[in-house]
Structure 1
């Protein structure tokens, strides 16, 4: 299961909260796939240079769990099948 969009987490060794805004993201030009992309919280998306790519196992703490709607449940199924 992937955390929903809007989930706020702290990464291992991190001191600043970040908010997940994308899942199964490819970072270019390295063409590497990551579980998540996030932005600083509460600052928001400040631009490409501030994107934070990370994997599930790097999450140390969930501070806020994002909204789970019926659409999110459908997306979870699609993410698991991909």
Structure 2
């Protein structure tokens, strides 16, 4: 897996024009009565969270990064354990598609 983008990163998604800012990673949400896992959750940039609108997407959906968020030793540790966290998800959680 490619290096993850840290929280606060600002980017665009494939086929998108609006910038988004990453506010969470490794999220599970319910979509169409099924539990779906996504690499990232973001809000619109520069507006932030508006009307509880969240954008869920995966690493492969990223087109361009304008700003990479803060990274330190804790971020690097998270990147190392992230694959094992994903592999330990319950069987009823499937990877979401965008």
Same fold flag (TM > 0.5):
yes
Is 1:34 the counterpart of 2:38? The answer is yes
> What residue in structure 2 maps to residue 5 of structure 1?
7
What residue ranges of structure 1 are gaps of 5+ in the alignment?
none
> What residue in structure 2 maps to residue 66 of structure 1?
69
Pick aligned residue for 1:56 from 54, 59, 62: 59
1:47 positional shift: 4.2
CA distance in 1, matches of 2:25, 2:15: 21
CA distance in 1, matches of 2:82, 2:39: 10
CA distance in 2, matches of 1:77, 1:71: 10
Q: List per-residue Cα deviations over 1:23-57 (Å, max 9, x = no partner).
A: 11112253100111000011112243x10000111
What residue ranges of structure 2 are gaps of 5+ in the alignment?
86-98
CA distance in 1, matches of 2:46, 2:36: 27
